[in-house]
Chain A
Amino acid sequence: MTNNKQVPLKKGLWTEPDADGKVFLLASQCKKCGELTFPKKEQGICRHCQNNTFEDVKLSQRGKIYAFSVVQVRPPEFYKGEVPYALARIELPDGIRIDSLVADCDFEKLQVNMEMELVIDKLYTDENGNDIMTYKFKPVGM
Chain B
Amino acid sequence: MRKVMIAGVGLTRFDRYDGEKGRAEKEFFDLGSEAILAALKDADMEWSDIQAAFCGSVYCGTGAGHQVIERVGLTGIPIVNVENACSSGISALRLAFQMVGAGIYDIMIAVGFETMPRGPIKSTSWPLWERYMGFNLQPAQYAMKTVRFMEDTGATEEDFARVSVKNRKNATLNPNARMQKEVTLEEVMASRMVAKPLRLLHACPLADGGSAMILCSEDKLKKKDKAVEVAAATLTSGFYSSPKVKGADHITESANQAFAQSGLGPEDIDVVQAYDTMSPAELWDLELLGFCKKGDAPRRLREGHFNLDGSLPVNTDGGLMGRGHPLGATALAQCIELYRQIRGEAGPRQIKNGKAKTGLAHAMGAGPNSGVVILKR
Contacts and interface: CB of A to CB of B under 8 A. Distances in A.
A131 interface: no
Q: How large is the interface on B (under 10, 10 to 19, 20 to 34, 35 or more residues)?
A: 20 to 34
Interface string A1-33: 000000001100100000000000000000000
Contacts of B240: 35, 47-48
A30 B102 CA distance: 41
B355 interface: no
Contact of A73 (B133, B136, B194): B194
B144 interface: yes
A48 B242 contact: yes
A49 to B, nearest CB: 9
A75 B126 CA distance: 13
B244 A69 contact: no
Contacts of A89: 144, 148
Contact of A48 (B131, B144, B245): B245
B129 A79 contact: no
B128 interface: yes
Given A9-B132, A69-B195, A71-B140, A76 B121 contact: yes
Contacts of B192: 72
Q: Which of B131, B134, B192 has the most chain A CB atoms closer than 10 A to its own CB? A: B134
B109 to A, nearest CB: 33
B194 A99 contact: no
B242 A87 contact: no
A59 interface: no
Nearest to B150: A112
Q: Which of A34, A76, A97 has the most chain B CB atoms closer than 10 A to its own CB? A: A76
Contacts of A134: 132-133
Interface of A: 9-10, 13, 34-36, 47-48, 66-73, 75-81, 85, 87-89, 91, 95-97, 99-101, 112, 123, 132, 134
6 contacts: A9-B129, A9-B133, A72-B195, A72-B196, A75-B120, A79-B132
